[in-house]
């Protein structure tokens, strides 16, 4: 690993207060892409987390090698988790990134434990595991290799094109266990993307991820999230987005309307005030009940997206549903004379 860093400091008193004995060091880098960011390296004590029972999530176990996200989506629902670290949920969330540098070795150890029952592990569900920091820290190859070696089912949700670096590893894992890949693309509008998801790859580049996985025989769904009320929910915009998703070869599209929990709500509303002040009152009315838009609105968006998906010929399978690749057929020389040509097929 090449560390052309601007500064490396032993854990500061503040880090020690934030992370206790887990704190290792803080780093800043002098390359433009990491300008203004600080990475707090820690050695975590545990890496497989259980989702609280009351959660609406369809999975029970997660792995998150990072906290905070340089993709800096204004609406990010994970912002609140930075407040547990005594960091702010706005700019600090985008620029003060916690890196669990021992994540791969810790995961390998936990997967080998006799107590672990080989359950599905979801990644990218809190913050993006393929955010820009991953280009430096390269934690995901070790994580995926550990899951592959233990044939442990997993899924990844991301906006990061960096996942393509690990495509071959993911393909190896999909030969021995169930793997679900989903890409998040809420809209394709360029202007909206630049202002509300400033640190992410462009939506079209994210759809290239879907194309690449499809080309390698691995299904990839799209989580169409978030649909932003009054900004990306016009029927023409929904149509543009679903058309682009369908053209990428996605196996499914799952729409999700913006929700605004504390932490994200203040940051998003301040952004709205700056960029679309005429919408502030409409948002206050739509989200008057709390974090979620009214059910009728969510149903309306979902119905429109499903109708468009059908129009553009997309299948009904849910995004990110784990699938398993059949092992490669033997090379032609090893095949019985009447077997099919070598091709990866999905179970
Ligand atoms: S990519 Fe995901 S985790 Fe990262 S800021 Fe955006 S919404 Fe949050």
Separation CA 161–CA 177 (nearest Å)? 23
- Residues in Cβ contact with 108 at an 8 Å cutoff, skipping those fewer than 6 apart: 142, 146, 149, 150
- The answer to the question of residue 8 being in a domain is no
Cis status of the peptide bond prior to 339, with omega within 30 of 0: no
* Domain, as residue range, for 218: 48-62+102-325
Q: How confident is the model at residue 208 (pLDDT cuts 50, 70, 90)?
A: very high
- The answer to the question of residue 138 being in a domain is yes
Question: Which CATH number fits the domain that encloses residue 172?
Answer: 3.80.30.30
Beta strands of 109-204 (E only): which ranges? Answer: 121-123, 154-158, 179-184
Backbone angles phi, psi at 15, to 5 degrees: -60, -45
- 131, 192, 260, best to mutate for ligand 1 pocket (most atoms within 8 Å of CB): 131
For residue 312, is pLDDT > 70?
yes
- The answer to the question of residue 86 being in a domain is no
pLDDT digits (tens, 9 = 90+) for 84-106: 888 999 999 999 999 999 999 99
Average pLDDT over residues 106-111: 98
- The answer to the question of residue 119 being in a domain is yes
- Ligand 1: centre distance to CA 72 (Å): 6
Pocket of ligand 1 (CB under 6 A): 69, 71-73, 76, 78, 127-128, 131, 159, 200
Nearest CA to ligand 1 atom 3: 127
- Ligand 1: centre distance to CA 76 (Å): 5
pLDDT digits (tens, 9 = 90+) for 121-175: 999 999 999 999 999 999 999 999 999 999 999 999 999 999 999 999 999 999 9
pLDDT digits (tens, 9 = 90+) for 57-81: 778 999 999 999 999 999 999 999 9
For residue 334, is pLDDT > 60?
no
Question: Starting from the edge strand earliest in sequence, which strands make up the sheet with 96-100, in order?
Answer: 5-10, 23-29, 38-42, 96-100, 66-67
Average pLDDT, the chain: 88
Domain total in the chain: 1
H or E segment at 19? helix 13-19
Which residue's structure tokens are 């299948």?
315
Give the ligand 1 atom nearest the CA of 197. 6
Nearest CA to ligand 1 atom 6: 73
- The answer to the question of residue 2 being in a domain is no
For residue 339, is pLDDT > 60?
no
Give the ligand 1 atom nearest the CA of 79. 8
Beta strand 61-63 with 96-100: parallel, antiparallel or unpaired? unpaired
């Amino acid at each position: 690993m090449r560390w052309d860093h601007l500064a490396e400091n032993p854990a500061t008193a503040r880090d020690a207060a934030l992370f206790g004995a887990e704190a290792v060091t803080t780093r800043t880098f002098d390359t433009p892409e990491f300008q203004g960011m600080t990475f707090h390296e820690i050695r975590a004590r545990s890496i497989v987390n259980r989702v609280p029972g009351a959660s609406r999530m369809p999975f029970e176990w997660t792995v998150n090698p990072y906290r905070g996200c340089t993709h800096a989506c204004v609406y990010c629902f994970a912002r609140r988790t930075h407040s547990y670290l005594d960091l702010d949920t706005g700019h600090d969330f985008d620029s003060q990134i916690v890196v669990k540098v021992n994540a791969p070795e810790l995961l390998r150890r936990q997967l080998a434990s006799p107590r672990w029952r080989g359950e599905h592990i979801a990644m990218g569900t809190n913050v993006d595991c393929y955010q820009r920091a991953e280009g430096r820290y390269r934690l995901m190859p070790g994580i995926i290799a550990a899951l592959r070696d233990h044939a442990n089912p997993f899924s990844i949700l991301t906006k990061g094109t960096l996942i393509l670096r690990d495509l071959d590893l993911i393909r190896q894992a999909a030969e021995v266990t169930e793997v679900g890949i989903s890409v998040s693309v809420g809209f394709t509008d360029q202007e909206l993307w630049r202002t509300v998801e400033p640190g992410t790859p462009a939506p079209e580049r994210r759809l290239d991820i879907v194309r690449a996985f499809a080309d390698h025989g691995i299904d990839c769904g799209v989580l169409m999230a978030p649909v932003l009320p009054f900004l990306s929910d016009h029927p023409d915009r929904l149509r543009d987005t679903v058309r682009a998703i369908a053209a990428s070869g996605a196996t499914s599209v799952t729409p999700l309307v913006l929700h605004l929990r504390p932490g994200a709500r203040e940051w998003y509303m301040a952004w709205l005030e700056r960029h679309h002040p005429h919408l502030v009152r409409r948002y206050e009315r739509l989200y008057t009940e709390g974090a979620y838009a009214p059910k009728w609105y969510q149903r309306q968006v979902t119905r429109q997206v499903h109708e468009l998906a059908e129009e553009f010929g997309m299948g009904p399978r849910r995004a990110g549903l784990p699938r398993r690749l059949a092992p490669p057929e033997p090379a032609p020389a090893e095949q019985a004379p009447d077997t099919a040509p070598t091709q990866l097929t999905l179970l």
